[in-house]
Structures are given as C-alpha cells and as structure tokens.
C-alpha cells in the first residue's frame, strides 16, 4: 500500500492577500484588488499585482541579482516552511526537493535588458552579467535553494497555465519514489512584468478591459471580454504521512489523485473531450467516483470559448450529479503558472470551516456556461464534515491539462 502524501504547510502571495488567511478572507468577503499599470509599448493595462514584502527574506543586493519569480518563490517557500513549523537547520537539506511550476521564464529579464541596451546604442558592455542565471528555466526553484541552502533536487516544471498543479504532482511523485523527505512544490508567475504576454492576448482580443479594474475579470459572465493577467505564487510543504504524524504536524489535506494529459489538437483552443478525460482519470486515480467530489474549482479564465468548453467537459464527467462549482479568477485574475496552486489554496480551508467561496463578477450568466450548483454570487455554508473531496482544474496552452484532487484528512 502506498504511503499517503499530505500537505502540512502553505505559503502564498496573491493580488488580494499575502497569507492563506488573508487570501481566504478576501475570497469569502469578495475583496478584489486589481489595478491599472503602465506597460512599455502598450500603455495602461489592468493587472493583478502582489504586495508581499520582498525584503522579509532577502536583502536588496539579493533582489537586484535575482528575479521577481525567484523572489516570489523564496517568499512562498519560506512561508510554507514556517507554516509547517519546520526548522530547516534541523533537517537534512539534501532530502528537500523544490519543484516549481512556471508558465514561462526569462521573458521579463530579456525584454528589460533589450530596452536598457538600446539606450546605449546596443553596446553589450551594458548587458547585465546576471542575465544567464536570471533566465535559465530552473531559476525560480534554484533561487529558493540558494536562499535556504537546500542541497536536494530542484527544477521547474514548464506547464503553461497547468503548471501550478503540475508542480504539486511532481512533488508528490518524488516523495512516493523516496527521492526526498520533504517537497516544496506548487507554482509561481511574474507574468505582469512582460509586455509580450499582454500584447499577445491583446492581439487575440483576449485581454480584459473595463473602466472599473475590479470588474474586469468575469469568468462565465455573458459580457466577459478576456483575461486579467496577474502575478503570484503558492508553494506547499508536502511530506509522507508517517513523517507528519511523527513530528505532530498540522495536516491540511491528503493528496488523493491526479492526472495530466494533452489535447493534441490546437495551440490555444481547448479540447473539452480531453479535459473531461483528464478529470475522469484523476477521479479514477483517487479510487472514487464523480459523485464523491464535493467542490470543483474551475480553470475558467473569462475567454469566450475557453469557459464554454470547460463547462462542456464538466457536464460530460458529472452528467446529473454535480459538485458545488466555483472559480477564483474573478477575484485574482489569471496568475498563469501560479493559478492552479493558488486556486487550490483558496478552497482548502473549506475542510475546516465548511464555507465554499463563490465565483465573482457574474452579473448575467452566459447560458452556455450554465452548470448545476455553480455558485454564482454567494458563498455557501456546509457542515465541514460533509466536504471530503476537492477537485482542482488547470489547463494550459498547447493543450496541457491537469487535474488534482485532495481529500479531507481523517486519521
């Protein structure tokens, strides 16, 4: 019998909160904090900006040498370790693995360096000598290991907007293989600092606009007009159940099942059949049936086609017996590589308080997005004991799909 893998620490930063409690309270109380930012070559855009204190765990010199994605990762990793009450000086640092899901990495630094060198007539003497370590694909995870002196494995999982789930899945698998004793795993994103992502969405008519930035991200609403790009991160401390029990750790949840697959059909257009297959495989992997799922957090980003196709996939899997369905992007926008990990965190407290947070900014539901038990506007109160399984969807470009299922921990 495989040993259970459990969550014992959570560290996060989102546009509306820098801790799990703050993030959760703002989801329940419908607090949104989007803002207009000025972006090179584009001008004003709506974005989700994090407000964590980068100097809490780094000094100014380290921040200048590193990246925003690395800084977010360090903050989240340190917060997760503190939450799990792990003193890193008392554990074997070669038995800690760091697995960070990312959408992309290096665009921010490259864009900035090109803009900078242009001012010096493209003289390469003015190219930053930290450029290479800043832009390698393992950077965010690597910065965590340097900051904490971790000597176990580290790498990033490039999974587009499915990456947050994939980072957690990778951590679980490495624990199950016995490669590490602790896994710092999840996803991060620095996407708001690159004009390229905004420009691409804008050229696709998929970048959200609204006079009120807090009403711009509106998944499932008939008048949705695109994505609000956000930065953020959520990293989890994962360990085997025996380890957690031995040290008397608080256990948030058990990892019950997961699945990943590929559409194999389009660069950007999702395939609802493959999404349905991913959900079904995760449910099978968890050893349960669709009827056992109590909460389903949707990936829906507020693009016209994407929202509709995910709803089609959900109907195919659940048919008549639907779980309670919510969405987090109306509150925090699309945090890309961090999305899945952040959205999972927003629902984990339901195991304790029985509250299921709603969607946000649905004024008129798109009829093609109608789902039984979709919590459109109001939170729902349940007996916490009735909430046993939470399913988290994250899908990404080039047709990468991920579904993660967590379970109430019952000793």
Catalytic, 357? Answer: no
Residue 115 phi, psi (nearest 5): -65, -40
The whole-number pLDDT of residue 229 equals 98
pLDDT digit string, tens, across residues 166-210? 999 999 999 999 999 999 999 999 999 999 999 999 999 999 999
Cα 193 to its chain centre, rounded Å, is 17
| 154 among known catalytic residues | no
Which one of 105, 154, 193, 334 is the catalytic residue? 334
Q: Which of 76, 161, 311, 369 is catalytic?
A: 161
Q: For the chain, percent helix, then strand, then coil, each to nearest 5?
A: 40, 25, 35
Closest CA to 392 of 83, 229, 163: 163
Q: Shortest CA distance to 144 belongs to which of 50, 75, 236? A: 75
In 207-314, beta strands by DSSP E? 229-230, 232-240, 253-262, 295-297
193 is catalytic: no
Residue ranges and CATH numbers for the domains of the chain are 5-246 (3.40.47.10), 257-407 (3.40.47.10)
Measure Cα distances from 83 to 10, 20, 167, 280, 377 in Å.
Answer: 6, 10, 19, 33, 31
How much is the pLDDT for 366? 98
- Amino acid 2: pLDDT: 78
List the one residue out of 365, 386, 48 whose CA is nearest residue 219.
365
Q: Label residues 53-62 b or e (16+ Cβ within 10 Å = b).
A: ebeebbeeeb
CB count in 10 Å sphere of residue 29: 10
pTM for the structure as a whole: 0.97
Mean pLDDT, the chain cut into blocks of 10 residues (411 residues total): 91 98 97 96 97 98 96 98 96 98 93 94 93 96 98 98 98 98 98 95 96 98 98 98 97 98 96 98 98 98 97 97 98 98 98 98 98 97 97 98 97 82
| 299, 311, 359, 369: the active-site residue | 299
Residue 1 has a pLDDT of 54
């Amino acid at each position: 019998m495989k040993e259970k893998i459990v969550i014992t620490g959570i560290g996060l930063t989102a546009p509306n909160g820098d801790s799990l409690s703050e993030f959760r309270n703002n989801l329940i109380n419908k607090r949104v904090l989007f803002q207009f930012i000025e972006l090179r070559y584009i001008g004003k855009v709506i974005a989700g900006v994090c407000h964590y204190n980068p100097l809490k765990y780094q000094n100014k010199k380290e921040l200048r040498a590193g990246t925003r994605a690395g800084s977010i990762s360090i903050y989240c990793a340190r917060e997760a370790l503190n939450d799990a009450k792990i003193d890193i000086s008392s554990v074997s640092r070669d038995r800690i693995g760091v697995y960070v899901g990312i959408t992309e990495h290096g665009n921010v630094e490259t864009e900035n360096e090109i803009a900078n060198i242009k001012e010096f007539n493209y003289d390469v003497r003015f190219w930053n000598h930290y450029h290479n370590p800043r832009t390698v694909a393992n950077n965010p995870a690597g910065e965590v290991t340097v900051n904490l002196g971790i000597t176990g494995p580290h790498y990033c999982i490039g999974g587009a907007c499915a990456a947050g789930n994939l980072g957690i899945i990778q951590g679980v698998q490495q624990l199950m293989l016995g490669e590490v004793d602790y896994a710092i795993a999840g996803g991060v994103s620095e996407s708001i600092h690159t004009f390229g992502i905004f420009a691409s969405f804008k050229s696709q008519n998929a970048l959200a606009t609204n006079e009120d930035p807090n009403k711009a991200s509106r998944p499932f609403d008939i008048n949705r007009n695109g994505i609000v790009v956000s930065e953020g991160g959520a990293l989890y401390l994962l360990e085997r159940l025996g380890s957690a029990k031995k040290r008397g750790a608080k256990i948030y949840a058990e990892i019950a099942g997961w699945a990943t697959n590929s559409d194999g059909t389009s660069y950007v257009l999702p395939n609802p059949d493959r999404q349905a297959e991913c959900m079904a495989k995760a449910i099978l992997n968890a050893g349960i049936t669709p009827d056992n799922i109590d909460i389903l957090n949707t990936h829906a980003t507020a693009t016209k086609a994407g929202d509709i196709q995910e709803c089609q996939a959900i109907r195919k899997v659940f048919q008549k017996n639907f779980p309670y369905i919510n969405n987090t992007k109306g509150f925090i926008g699309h945090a890309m590589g961090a999305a899945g990990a952040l959205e999972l965190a927003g629902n984990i407290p339901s195991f304790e308080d029985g509250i299921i947070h709603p969607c946000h900014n649905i004024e008129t539901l798109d009829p093609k997005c109608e789902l039984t038990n979709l919590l459109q506007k109001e939170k729902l109160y349940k007996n916490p004991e009735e909430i046993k399984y939470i399913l988290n969807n994250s899908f990404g470009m080039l047709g990468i799909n991920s579904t993660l299922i967590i379970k109430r921990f019952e000793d």
